[in-house]
């Protein structure tokens, strides 16, 4: 780090600051009550992913450094781990408080969570009978024995544990909760209220029925990942402590909570609540609009040949993209459709359209990424479905994820070949397109099509493309082109010309890119960074990043588009991409950034950026110490939530 020591933030700390912003949305009483609960669920899911990916890597680094005697590396990693423990415990305590508040407020809507501490005698009697009749036989009680050997448990699995004794032999009994079990059990009431109990709470209450020969001590609800244990209770029970020892976890790796350990039940609860009757608990529905760039009465391919089209999700309808694949599948001029598959919807319309196109005699080539985070098994299923449907399937490159979102339609028109190319910042997924903010360019630009054709050819051969004129393509020709554009702005600033950079990303951690941005800032380039989560560059550090401003927008929809803008006006260079400026993206993935050449599309992207920069409701501004504060609104200033404004004026519930 050297001279920039105080300018860089540890990525782990920056990530926690991001998840803190997510939790703030759960705490924000302006948000509808069920949406606040949903933000808690997102917060917890983020934390799970962090521990399974980032934390486990750090822990491995720490253990290797310790074994090999790398003292400096060991101490550095140890310090990071301590910060993680501290941040986690602080945020979990805040999460417990807001969860308790939300559950209390639900009561005014006659929605009640039954727990072992608030259950009535009548409810307990009903649930005991229910447990014996419907639940107990489906459970597998296990005694873990003196040597504390646990059975194989799945990641994030909940278990209920009880300390027990038989003929002076003290041991621990556990009941693993299988993921196939329902998380919510409704409890009938005499009125119209919705009362429910979580499955693990039900097992906790009646676990003694499963170990009838034993005397019982304390008990606990526990949730396990290989490198973390969570439990519910005021103090860690004997049962929970035995599980900790069996897992060989340090006490720092054990986290106490009062709220449910697995918040994924929120989606199940959502299905139990009739939304029409409880609409004030939810956001006002927002309907994606049909883009004015497309005439529904005319074929899309004909329109795209005449002009580029840019779709903006979730504000515009994803069905237009599906319509394009449908047209391509039946158009006599279309020879082939090639597409990258990273994460698709559960009942993907896109997959169905690709198979239909193959059945219509089109060559359909799909590059399926089998190592897409947490979607590996699903993508294996989709690959088989595509192959069985007549599509040709290729897989990502060994050690390099194919993360680029690109589709290429090749047409034979007389004696020439034409292309329709789509490059998107987000997945080909109609479900996430309703909640992720993404951009999707569709163009008939011949040279962009030719470059994408070359990319697909290389991917099918298991190789990388080494040079491009229009596209930025990682891992071999992405960072250098970004540096060149930054250098152009530096030269402008040195010549006393207006120089500016706007980058909208999910994350910024690439040290090379951050140093280049520092160089630009010191040269006088005005830099706006819109970074959703991790940003390892601190803004406003005197003499170093004074010309850099960092903001993060966390709101109803997930900010997911990546936009690179260099300069102002008609001479500006504008790109959209699937890539963040992190080393794993630019050096260890296949990523694509595409230039926006159409003036109409350029205006549309710049308008989006202007809207985001005007946001004074969901935007948080980074301070020079790395902390984020909610943007202050002047007395004369009107509240502006850019995500809502993009849909038009929001109407209240009727």
- Active-site annotation, residues: 403
d(CA 20, CA 32): 19
Q: Give the integer Cα–Cα distance in Å for 259 and 94.
A: 10
Of 608, 633, 624, give the one whose Cα is nearest residue 550. Answer: 624
Reference 438, options 548, 551, 312; nearest CA is 312
- Residue in the block written with tokens 């004794």: 165
What's the burial of 534, exposed, middle or buried (CB within 10 Å: 0-12/13-18/19+)?
buried
Q: What is the 3-state secondary structure (H, E, C) of 295-333?
A: CCCCCHHHHHHHCCEEEEECCECCHHHHHHHHHHHHCCC
Name every residue whose Cβ is closer than 8 Å to that of residue 441 and which is 6 or more positions away in sequence: 308, 309, 310, 421, 422, 423, 424, 576, 594, 596, 601
Degrees to nearest 5, angle at CA 525 with 569 and 566: 40
Q: For tokens 């929809």, name the residue.
A: 557
The C-alpha atoms of residue 222 and residue 166 are separated, in whole angstroms, by 23
Residues 6+ apart with CB under 8 A from 120: none
Which of the 8 DSSP states describes residue 458?
H
Answer for the pair 12, 83: CB distance below 8 angstroms, yes or no.
yes
Q: What's the CA angle centered on 474, arms 492 and 401, to 5 degrees?
A: 150
The verdict on whether omega for the bond into residue 314 sits within 30 degrees of 0, i.e. cis, is yes
Dist CA 31 CA 282 (whole Å): 8
| Nearest-10 Cα torsion for 308, 314, 317, 318 | 80
In DSSP terms, which residues pair with 170 in a beta bridge?
Answer: 165
Burial group, residue 220, by CB count within 10 angstroms (0-12, 13-18, 19+): buried
- Half-sphere exposure (Cβ direction) of 139: Cα atoms closer than 13 Å: 29
Cis upstream peptide for 475 (omega within 30°): yes
Alpha helix positions (H), 257-393:
265-272, 300-306, 319-330, 349-359, 376-388
**CA–CA dist 527, 539 (Å, integer):** 10
CB–CB of 536/7 below 8 Å? no
CB atoms within 10 A of CB 237: 21
DSSP letter at 652 equals: P
Three-class SS of residue 651?
A: coil
Residues 6+ apart with CB under 8 A from 25: 31, 36, 39, 554, 555
Distance CA 320, CA 298 (A): 12
For residues 132 and 125, give the distance between their C-alpha atoms in angstroms, rounded to a whole number.
11
Residue 172's nearest CA partner among 199, 151, 202 is 151
DSSP, res 234: S
């Amino acid at each position: 780090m050297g001279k920039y020591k105080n300018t860089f933030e540890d990525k782990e700390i920056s990530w926690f600051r991001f998840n803190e912003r997510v939790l703030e949305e759960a705490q924000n009483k302006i948000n509808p009550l069920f949406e606040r609960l949903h933000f808690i669920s997102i917060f917890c899911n983020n934390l799970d992913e962090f521990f399974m990916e980032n934390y486990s890597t750090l822990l491995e680094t720490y253990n290797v450094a310790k074994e090999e005697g790398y003292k400096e590396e060991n101490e550095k990693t140890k310090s990071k781990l301590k910060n993680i423990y501290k941040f986690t415990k602080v945020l979990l305590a805040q999460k417990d408080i807001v969860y308790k508040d939300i559950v209390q407020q639900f009561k005014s809507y006659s929605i009640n969570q039954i727990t072992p501490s608030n259950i009535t005698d009548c409810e307990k009697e009903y649930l005991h009978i229910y447990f014996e009749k419907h639940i107990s036989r489906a459970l597998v009680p296990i005694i873990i024995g003196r040597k504390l050997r646990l059975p194989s448990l799945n990641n994030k699995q909940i278990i209920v544990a009880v300390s027990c004794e038989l003929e002076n032999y003290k041991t621990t009994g556990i009941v693993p909760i299988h993921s196939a079990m329902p998380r919510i059990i409704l409890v009938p009431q005499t009125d119209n209220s919705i009362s429910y109990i979580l499955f693990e709470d039900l097992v906790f209450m009646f676990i003694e029925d499963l170990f009838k020969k034993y005397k019982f001590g304390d008990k606990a609800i526990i949730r396990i990942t290989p490198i973390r244990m969570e439990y519910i209770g005021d103090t860690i029970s004997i049962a929970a402590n035995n599980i900790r020892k069996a897992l060989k976890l340090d006490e720092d790796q054990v986290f106490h909570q009062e709220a449910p350990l697995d918040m994924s039940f929120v989606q199940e609860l959502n299905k139990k609540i009739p939304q029409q009757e409880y609409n004030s608990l939810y956001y006002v529905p927002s309907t994606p609009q049909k883009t004015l760039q497309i005439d529904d009465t005319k074929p899309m391919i004909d329109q795209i040949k005449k002009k580029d089209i840019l779709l903006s999700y979730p504000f515009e309808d994803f069905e237009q993209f599906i319509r394009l694949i449908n047209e391509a599948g039946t158009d006599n001029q279309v020879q082939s459709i090639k597409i990258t598959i990273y994460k698709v919807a559960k009942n993907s319309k896109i997959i169905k359209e690709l198979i239909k196109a193959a059945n219509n005699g089109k060559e359909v080539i799909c590059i399926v990424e089998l190592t897409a985070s947490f979607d590996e098994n699903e993508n294996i299923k989709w690959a088989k479905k595509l192959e069985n449907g007549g599509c040709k399937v290729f897989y990502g490159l060994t050690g390099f994820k194919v993360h680029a979102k690109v589709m290429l339609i090749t047409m034979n028109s007389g004696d020439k070949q034409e292309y329709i190319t789509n490059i998107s910042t987000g997945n080909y997924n109609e479900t996430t397109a309703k909640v992720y903010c993404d951009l999707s360019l569709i163009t008939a630009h011949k040279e962009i099509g030719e470059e994408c054709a070359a990319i697909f050819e290389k991917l099918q051969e298991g190789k990388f493309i080494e040079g491009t004129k229009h596209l930025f393509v990682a891992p071999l020709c992405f960072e250098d082109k970004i540096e060149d554009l930054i250098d152009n702005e530096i030269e402008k600033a040195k010549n006393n010309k207006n120089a500016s950079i706007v980058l909208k990303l999910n994350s910024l951690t690439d040290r090379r890119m951050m140093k280049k941005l520092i160089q630009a800032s010191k040269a006088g380039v005005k830099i706006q960074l819109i970074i959703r989560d991790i940003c390892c560059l601190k803004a406003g550090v005197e003499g170093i990043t004074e010309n850099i401003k960092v903001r993060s927008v966390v709101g109803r929809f997930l900010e997911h588009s990546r936009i690179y803008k260099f300069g102002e006006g008609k001479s500006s260079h504008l790109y959209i991409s699937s890539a963040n400026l992190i080393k794993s993206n630019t050096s260890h993935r296949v990523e694509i950034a595409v230039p926006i050449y159409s003036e109409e599309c350029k205006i549309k992207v710049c308008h989006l950026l202007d809207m985001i920069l005007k946001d004074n409701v969901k935007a948080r501004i980074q301070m020079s110490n790395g902390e984020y504060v909610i943007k202050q609104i002047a007395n004369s200033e009107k509240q502006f939530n850019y995500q809502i404004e993009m849909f038009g004026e929001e109407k209240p519930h009727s």
